[in-house]
Structure 1
């Protein structure tokens, strides 16, 4: 990045271009937070159909709030959240799910007292019956879940619980999968495996929007990345370009 090109100019230039983009998910000028507390200010973000997009940034930047705002779990204040051309800015989570969006939160993302199979069936709760083909697809993606389908979810390892949470989110075959810190709390030897599974989900056609603290790994795999700082867009580019940007590496990736 040249000395003349400031971070603010970068964010502004990308924001100007993206507000006119019609993506599967299009977030424009979003202000959001919790109650009266505003966290996000004029955030712009686009996820195209089948795209893999990552949000990175320092702690407290508002990354997870973007996810929660899209899914109807944060307080909407201003701007637009559009999914597949429809304004979903103020919809409740159940209505967002019915539009084709699934969300995997970072914490408390399984029903500990239910079995693995019961957790997966809960993922299809808006349907009249559980589609066996979706169960089969989840078991094909995560074979360990089929082996442990009668086991209580609370007794699974951290990596297995994360697989179960993602499997439950896939039970409705969503167009967009929201993942909040999927590698959090995992043993180092399981992190690559988790990212590989996310790659496979995206390769099968599901768009992914992911918040991730493991920024270098996330950016190395995604199509496009957003760097949020203090609730605002700071940088937007392809994952590879952000990894190669000296200023981004120095400020956010440890050099």
Structure 2
């Protein structure tokens, strides 16, 4: 049976005793303005791990992601990254510690070229790292082909790859992905997931929010199920897929 909301976030999913925690969220309360969305949310991501957050609409999935990146009103709890406290810090500060974030919407500069978008991903550096640019082009060959094209004229799938590529320009230790398959044609969804697998296999930890829950859980190391802004279940992706209660309540049977 998958771990329920009353159990510590690292219990029962093959992570006991690990000391390589990268991101640790504890008792997080957060929201927008005076509206509280999250209540006592716990979450961990270990070095090189692939973690997915699933749950119904309005569960607080994207709010959790945004809270890690400093985009919500912090109301309680802590967020730690690589042994440093980043609770309530601004996104422009969080980028510096090694976290990249790809929002669901408005995640490219449509009037800039592909290459100019990638250069913007390294705006905090004095010079654009050409080795990072080349690594992005190798991972997403279509971006090299379209490097002089205005980003807003590309397909949705290509724009999503560009958004991920831009976030990778600083070689983050943790990549936050908010609904990367949203709005993509069905034949492009698998390709997008394959690219995320490749990023993770190359050593970048991934924390992803995804409505395509079954496919996301098939691919990830561990998953968290949120409902009404609170932890409901946590376990390996495979265990959550096989849990009858989780399937009935959150995965459509």
TM-score under structure 1 normalisation?
0.95
Q: How big is each residue's C-alpha offset from its partner over 1:156-213, in whole Å with a ceiling of 9 and x where there is no partner?
A: 0000000000000000000000000000000000000000000000000000000000
The answer for the alignment partner of 2:162 in structure 1 is 164
Q: Does 1:14 align with 2:8?
A: yes
Which of 54, 59, 64 aligns to 1:66? It is 64
Q: How big is each residue's C-alpha offset from its partner over 1:98-144, in whole Å with a ceiling of 9 and x where there is no partner?
A: 00000000001000000000000000000000010000000000000
Distance 1:27 1:16 in 2: 11
Q: Does 1:202 align with 2:200?
A: yes
Give 1:21 deviation, angstroms: 7.0
SS of the aligned residue for 1:172 comes to coil
- Give the gaps of 5 or more residues in structure 2: none
Distance 1:27 1:240 in 2: 23
Gap change, CA 1:133 and 1:182, over 3 Å in 2? same
1:101-250, aligned counterparts within 5 Å?
101-250=99-248
Give 1:16 deviation, angstroms: 7.6
Give 1:79 deviation, angstroms: 0.3
Matched pairs, number: 249
Give 1:13 deviation, angstroms: 1.6
Does the Cα contact within 8 Å between 2:24 and 2:45 map onto a contact in 1? yes
Gap change, CA 1:16 and 1:241, over 3 Å in 2? closer
Distance 2:7 2:73 in 1: 27
Does the Cα contact within 8 Å between 2:22 and 2:82 map onto a contact in 1? yes
SS of the aligned residue for 1:24 comes to strand
Distance 1:158 1:135 in 2: 21
Gap change, CA 1:172 and 1:72, over 3 Å in 2? same
- Give the gaps of 5 or more residues in structure 1: 2-6
SS of the aligned residue for 1:14 comes to coil
Does the Cα contact within 8 Å between 2:52 and 2:208 map onto a contact in 1? yes
Please state which structure has a larger fraction of its residues in helix.
1
Does the Cα contact within 8 Å between 1:19 and 1:28 map onto a contact in 2? no
Gap change, CA 1:111 and 1:16, over 3 Å in 2? closer
Distance 1:19 1:130 in 2: 40
Which of 85, 88, 104 aligns to 2:86? It is 88
Distance 2:143 2:69 in 1: 26
Does the Cα contact within 8 Å between 1:19 and 1:44 map onto a contact in 2? no
Give 1:86 deviation, angstroms: 0.5
Does the Cα contact within 8 Å between 1:123 and 1:168 map onto a contact in 2? yes
Does the Cα contact within 8 Å between 1:21 and 1:46 map onto a contact in 2? no
